[in-house]
Amino acid sequence: MSAELPVELRAGLVAESGAASEERLAQSVERLIEAYRSGRPASAPILASRVDVAAYAAYRMPATFAAVRSALGQLAGAYPDFAPRTQLDIGGGTGAATWAAADAFPTLTGITVLDQVGEALDLGRRLASGADAPALRSATWQQWQASSVAALPAADLVTISYVLGELTAAAQAELLDRARRAAGVLLVIEPGTPAGYERILQARTTLLGHGLTVAAPCPHQDDCPLAAVRGDWCHFAARVNRSALHRRLKNAQLGHEDEKFSFVAVAPSPALLVPAGRVLRHPQFRKGMVTMQLCRSDGSAGPEIVSKKHGNLYRTARDVEWGDAWRSVSSQLT
Ligand SMILES: C[S@@+](CC[C@H](N)C(=O)[O-])C[C@H]1O[C@@H](n2cnc3c(N)ncnc32)[C@H](O)[C@@H]1O
């Protein structure tokens, strides 16, 4: 799935990239990639300067926007009645998840972003001031530490996007506990690596243990069937179109990249959810046949073959993408 960056955000990122020379931004991008790759909890803020923040916005915001937007698309499909008015974005940085939420849910009227890095909040505020969505323009940007004991403000949608990996296991558990108390729906999203998936799996288990219902991506509330499969993990991909600056900062040739992400969205009210299978990888298209890896509502996962003999179902299956909802053929034919 591809989600275009809102034009106002694209323009804002170009304007903000003038904060430092491209050489300094590129050096910062290199350092940030290294720091995020290490996978170790951060002992000090990774975004350590104004240049880091500008570099992060230029090379990561398009990707985290695309990932969150894609996850919210799955959530909206599974929970069509969800119409949040308020969002709390925890560890929101420069606010990519708020742009994604405003794009997915025009019902939003109030947005609060919390982060430890004042420079990131400042940049996020400046970018949001140019947004079309009134909820973004009027968002509240507040400096905050995950270790602070104050209760989190309640919100219909709480997002924790690419944050858990910077925290110790104990701090992750503590934050999730406070977030689920504040949330209507809680979305937790991490890089689509085996380590990111492990954190999501842990979060999913904890949140289910508190009686919450998984709204997306899983079409069931059982154990993740991929957890038992060696070398496989549940993740999705979002296409990101790279701007010329983005390409230069990453020293990349291609005009796009695929951002891989793992996530879980939990809701308090199972009655509103629409269970369907979930396509787990790029489907394979061969003459007269579509093969997809499917996570099914009975808690199993495996290949699903849709062939020409399935008529209309086959025609629909040819348009199916990784991450789409798909009911297994047997349940669609009964
Ligand atoms: C990789 S960035 C993700 C930013 C944003 N959520 C996104 O998706 O683009 C991680 C963010 O978490 C924030 N963060 C990490 N540890 C934190 C802590 N202990 N307290 C508050 N914020 C924290 C960082 O400052 C940073 O802005």
CATH assignment at residue 101: 3.40.50.150
Same-domain status, 133 and 72: yes
Same-domain status, 266 and 287: no
Same-domain status, 305 and 264: no
> CA 215 to CA 130: how far, in whole Å?
32
Q: Which residues of the chain have pLDDT under 50?
A: none
Same-domain status, 266 and 282: no
Query: What is the domain range of residue 128?
Result: 7-272
- Residue 154 confidence (pLDDT): 97
Query: DSSP E strands: which ranges in the chain?
Result: 86-90, 110-115, 140-143, 155-161, 183-191, 213-216, 236-241, 256-267, 278-279, 284-286, 289-295, 301-307
Same-domain status, 116 and 133: yes
- Residue 334 confidence (pLDDT): 54
- Distance between Cα 107 and ligand 1 center (Å): 25
Structure token digits, residue 297 = 């509502």
Instruction: Report whether the peptide linkage leading into residue 225 is cis, meaning its omega lies within 30 degrees of zero.
Output: no
- Domain assignment present for residue 92? The answer is yes
- Residue 245 confidence (pLDDT): 84
**Pocket mutation for ligand 1, best pick of 117, 166, 259 (most atoms within 8 Å of C-beta):** 166
Number of domains the chain is built from: 2
- Domain assignment present for residue 1? The answer is no
Same-domain status, 188 and 268: yes
Q: Whose CA is nearest to atom 3 of ligand 1?
A: 162
Same-domain status, 230 and 319: no
Residue type, 246: H
Domain endpoint, select from 244, 272, 300: 272
- Residue 254 confidence (pLDDT): 87
Same-domain status, 178 and 265: yes
**Pocket mutation for ligand 1, best pick of 49, 114, 163 (most atoms within 8 Å of C-beta):** 163
Same-domain status, 223 and 238: yes
What are the residues facing 266 on neighbouring strands? 186, 214
> CA 233 to CA 192: how far, in whole Å?
8
Domain endpoint, select from 225, 254, 272: 272
Same-domain status, 42 and 191: yes
- Distance between Cα 226 and ligand 1 center (Å): 28
Same-domain status, 170 and 284: no
313 Cβ neighbours under 8 A, 6+ residues apart:
306, 329, 332, 333
- Distance between Cα 19 and ligand 1 center (Å): 21
- Residue 272 confidence (pLDDT): 66
- Residue 271 confidence (pLDDT): 58
